[in-house]
Structure 1
Amino acid sequence: MESANHTDPPTQEPLPNSDRVLVIMAKAPRPGAVKTRLTPRLPPDTVTSFYRCLLDDTLALALSLRDVEVAIMCPEPDVNELAQLVGPEVSIVAQNGAGLAAGLTSVFAHFAEGRGRRIIAFNSDSPHLPASVLEGAFDKLAAHDVVIGPTFDGGYYLVGAKAAHRALFARDGMGTSTALDTLLSRAQALSLSVAFAEPFYDIDVADDLARLAAELRLAPEKAPRTARWLKEWELSTTQPRAGAAQS
């Protein structure tokens, strides 16, 4: 399998004065802490290696956008480890509280700061998303209070706003089967206008892994580190074990 020692993603100068901010919701890649719904299919250390590739490619995607400040929001214990992994061009911010809902609330509380910036919180496991979708989400946010990128399983892979709306995310995360409906209900209750990015899929369960592998076999340039990892993983699962009977 591909090791965790990848080359660094493309770099950009920090843009603290940009009016567009893309915040990746991430965790430090530790066994048992990331992509836990894949562990029935893969060992925890293998899942961790896979997540590191997803995160690297997601950072590369984010840094490919022009005139966008890129940051990571993470649990407080993960700050130092992630800072060592991603380098100084990406700011690392500790969320207030535990869980993804607290992280999302922290994104907009931290980056909005009454400055009228367009802020998008983006998950760390959709590096295969076309950059044009993120650009389109920023464009839609210019004319709406909230923009949402729905997933096919009832969650969402991104959410954007120009102000902190704390009631939007109480007790909910991006990846549950009812997360999108809950978010939309809360936006309606707050009288917020909503626009949608294109529906997409993220990587939560084994079927998602197989779908991503099939997509990246055809277009590995979308997420090159992840594509290499998946190719090696598929080879390792199909090659005969040493000592197995040969036909």
Structure 2
Amino acid sequence: MTAPAPESDTTLLVIAKQPVPGRVKTRLVPPCTYEQAASLAEAALADTLGAVLMTPARRRVLILDGQPGPWLPPGFDIVPQCGGPLDERLAAAFAAVSGPALLIGMDTPQVTPALLTVDWGTADAAFGPAADGGFWALGLRAPDPALLRGVPMSTATTGAIQRARLVKAGLRVLDLPQLRDVDTAADAVAVARQAPRSRFAARTRELATVLSRADHLLRETA
């Protein structure tokens, strides 16, 4: 078992759903079955938690909708996810902690400890845009739930609106690299190529025919 990385001033937050068939990655159905989609979600979550575990942090918190499973390594505090729309759930995640915090989801298994390490000496906020117009990471040196409430989620302009909210609040924003969320079969294939040694890539290779009928794309990165 990998030991947690050394401490830093930052709390790392992961907001996630328990990978139960029919409740996660439903946009992969079809071509996947609900069970296959859930297995991809579990692999993505395990990779994400592994990256967080290897990143220096004061505290590691999983904001979870559901129950922990064998995919959860030691070293995480579990906070039940509140109900309501996504902006309220993200706001509640920041409200649950104090001090600098960086929040990510379970849709970017290609994330690395380097991407999750923020220098708060030069920034008040960190923003990681997603290729679909959303965002994969949001960090706040002084967490303020009001910065998230009311931001329309799951639209092509969600990221731009959220970043503009940070700027309007007078925060110095550190822009992180753009990453691709896993929502569709094409996303799964592309992300697997970016992180070929990940659990997610291994599971994607097993489902290559189902996902894309382009096995050679995945074999190239095996």
TM-score normalised by structure 1 residue count: 0.76
Find the counterpart in structure 2 of residue 118 from structure 1: 100
Find the counterpart in structure 2 of residue 55 from structure 1: 45
Equivalent residues in 2 for 1:22-171, closer than 5 Å:
22-75=12-65, 78=66, 81-82=67-68, 85-112=71-98, 117-135=99-117, 138-139=118-119, 141-171=120-150
Q: Tell me, what secondary structure is at the counterpart of 1:111?
A: coil
Q: Distance in 1 between matches of 2:73 and 2:16?
A: 15
Q: Tell me, what secondary structure is at the counterpart of 1:106?
A: helix
Unpaired segments ≥5 residues, structure 2: 215-222
* Cα separation, partners in 2 of 1:204 and 1:186, compared to 1, 3 Å: same
Find the counterpart in structure 2 of residue 202 from structure 1: 181
Q: Tell me, what secondary structure is at the counterpart of 1:50?
A: helix
For 2:203, give the aligned amino acid: W
Q: Distance in 2 between matches of 1:101 and 1:134?
A: 21
1:61-110 Cα shifts (integer Å, max 9, x gaps): 111123442211123xx1xx226641542111123332321221112211
* Cα separation, partners in 2 of 1:151 and 1:32, compared to 1, 3 Å: same
1:206-234 Cα shifts (integer Å, max 9, x gaps): 22112123334xxx22x2x1121111111
For 1:131, give the aligned amino acid: P
For 1:52, give the aligned amino acid: E
Q: Tell me, what secondary structure is at the counterpart of 2:116?
A: helix
Q: Distance in 2 between matches of 1:103 and 1:64?
A: 25
User: Cα RMSD between the aligned structures?
Assistant: 2.5
Question: Could you tell me whether the CA contact under 8 Å between 2:27 and 2:184 is conserved in 1?
Answer: yes
Find the counterpart in structure 1 of residue 202 from structure 2: 228
Question: Could you tell me whether the CA contact under 8 Å between 1:74 and 1:103 is conserved in 2?
Answer: no
> In the comparison of the two structures, how many residue pairs are matched?
213
* Cα separation, partners in 2 of 1:179 and 1:198, compared to 1, 3 Å: same
Identity %: 28
Equivalent residues in 2 for 1:182-197, closer than 5 Å:
182-197=161-176
Q: Distance in 2 between matches of 1:207 and 1:174?
A: 22
Name which of structure 1's ranges 187-196 and 49-58 shifts more when overlaid on structure 2: 187-196
Which structure's residues are more often helix, by fraction?
Answer: 1
